[in-house]
């Protein structure tokens, strides 16, 4: 690892990380600035009432709006809200499966359309905002329109509708600067240093959302679930499995980077818990994970084993992948569809290379204390559920349905050994990453 990377790496400290401060404007990003109304009201752990012992919001008789419910996480959040007593309305551009299955109210529209948003908010008490443009590539203007402008429209209309509680679902990428994050908390979102158009636009949106906390009796909390996955996931698991099956999924730096992820049930429960605990957490950003860091090579291999496809067999240096990602991003829009192998996304981007070759795991003590919450599904149980899903939903023409949990564990052990043998893993050991994992899991 270079000296620059070592100096830039985020590490845990004895004090809580700084929270975003209201400055009147968010930093400019790629030539576009975002006006932020008012200043952020940052939660103070010493202030009266904002403690982990404060009572939870009861959803009985209340209506919650979930934006972006056609996605896996949004749909699961809607289901958890229903189970906790809320009436649920969902709002997104296309039909959401949860609306049909659970019989929830549904309004179609885009978050940047004030009239559609106003219709969706009619009679609503609480909001969970997940709608976003999520992609490794795309035009900056499109990310701004959906992620930043859409958030502004939603929050302004929520104020007009008399909504008092909003949970903004963000991402740890808003504070990722391309270097390792090891045991840190919710570092401040920064559109100037976040990597890629998605992360930059989400950083601007998060700062905007938190700046509106305290205005017109509105309470806003930001929750950053990290790398959410689960059965039926098309954003991560399916892409990994399909690319590995096609022989187009390399390990970077032997898959040694330690990464913490979030199983879908844990992510949705934590998001709803933030709404229930809004009095304790408003004005804050909280990172949510399983609290079980693993080498990225192990995570990929276990996904592949669950789907009964070969794990990656070749490794590429992270620095080479970053350079290749920059080049591919520039030429990909000009590559004819017939040469893309059925992928809309490029096989590698600079952001993806950084995510796969740098450590990012987080201190979960503050999150769990403030939310009064712990994950209900372990990493091992999550992979067992993935394997069960693929047994019940074979991949057409590829999957035999015969994968066993023993094979999942066998491949995981092999990947751990490969990571331990790599020079990158040796460096990680020297920095205390792999030798203190149990204490991280216990947090």
Element (H, E) at 331: helix 318-331
Whether residue 288 contacts residue 225, with contact meaning beta carbons closer than 8 Å, is answered with: yes
First to last CA, the chain: 27
Among 180, 218, 216, 230, CA closest to 75:
230
- The CA distance from 434 to 406, in Å, is 24
* Tokens linked to 282: 């408003």
Count Cα atoms within 13 angstroms, Cβ side, for 399.
Answer: 21
Among 365, 238, 387, 230, CA closest to 302:
387
Q: At what angle do helices 237-245 and 296-306 cross, to 10 degrees?
A: 80
Q: Which residues contact 286 (CB under 8 A, 6 or more apart)?
A: 186, 221, 222, 223, 224, 274, 366, 367, 370, 371
389 is catalytic: no
57 secondary structure, DSSP code: P
Q: Which residues contact 406 (CB under 8 A, 6 or more apart)?
A: none
Whether residue 105 contacts residue 89, with contact meaning beta carbons closer than 8 Å, is answered with: yes
Q: Which residues pair with 126 in a beta bridge?
A: 64, 165
> Which of the following is catalytic: 198, 263, 389, 390?
198
- The CA distance from 133 to 146, in Å, is 6
Element (H, E) at 346: none
Q: Kindly list the catalytic residues.
A: 198
């Amino acid at each position: 690892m270079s000296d620059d990377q070592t100096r830039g790496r985020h590490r845990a400290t004895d004090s809580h990380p700084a929270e975003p401060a209201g400055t009147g404007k968010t930093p400019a990003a790629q030539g576009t600035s975002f006006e932020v109304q008012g200043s952020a009201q940052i939660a103070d752990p010493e202030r009266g009432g904002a403690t982990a012992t404060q009572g939870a919001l009861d959803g009985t008789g209340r209506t919650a709006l979930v934006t972006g419910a056609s996605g896996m996480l949004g749909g699961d959040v809607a289901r958890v809200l229903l189970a906790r007593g809320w009436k649920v309305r969902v709002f997104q551009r296309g039909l959401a499966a949860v609306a049909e299955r659970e019989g929830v109210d549904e309004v179609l529209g885009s978050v940047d359309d004030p009239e559609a948003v106003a219709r969706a908010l009619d009679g609503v008490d609480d909001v969970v905002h997940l709608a976003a443009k999520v992609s490794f590539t795309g035009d900056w203007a499109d990310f701004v329109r959906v992620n930043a402008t859409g958030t502004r429209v939603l929050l302004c209309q929520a104020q007009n509708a008399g909504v008092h509680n909003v949970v903004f679902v963000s991402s740890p990428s808003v504070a990722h600067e391309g270097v390792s994050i090891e045991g840190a908390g919710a570092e401040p979102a920064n559109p100037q240093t976040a990597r890629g158009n998605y992360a930059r636009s989400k950083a601007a949106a998060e700062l905007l959302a938190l700046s509106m906390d305290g205005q017109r009796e509105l309470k806003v909390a930001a929750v950053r679930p990290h790398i959410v996955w689960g059965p039926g996931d098309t954003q991560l698991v399916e892409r990994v499995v399909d690319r590995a099956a096609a022989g187009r999924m390399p390990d970077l730096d032997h898959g040694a980077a330690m990464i913490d992820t979030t199983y879908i049930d844990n992510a949705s429960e934590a998001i709803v818990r933030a709404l229930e605990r809004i009095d304790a957490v408003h004005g804050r950003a909280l990172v949510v994970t399983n609290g079980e860091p693993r080498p990225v090579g192990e995570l990929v291999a276990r996904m592949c084993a669950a789907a009964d496809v070969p794990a990656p067999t070749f490794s590429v240096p992270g620095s080479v992948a970053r350079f290749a990602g920059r080049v591919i991003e520039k030429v990909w829009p000009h590559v004819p569809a017939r040469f893309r192998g059925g992928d809309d996304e490029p096989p590698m981007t600079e952001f993806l290379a950084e995510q796969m070759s740098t450590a990012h795991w987080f201190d979960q003590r503050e999150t769990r204390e403030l939310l009064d919450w712990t994950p209900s599904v372990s990493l091992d149980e999550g992979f067992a559920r993935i394997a069960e899903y693929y047994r019940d939903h074979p991949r057409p023409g590829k999957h035999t349905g015969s994968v066993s949990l023993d094979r999942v564990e066998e491949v995981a052990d092999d990947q751990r050994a490969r990571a331990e043998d790599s020079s990158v893993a040796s460096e990680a050991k020297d920095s205390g990453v792999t030798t203190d994992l149990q204490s991280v899991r216990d947090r």
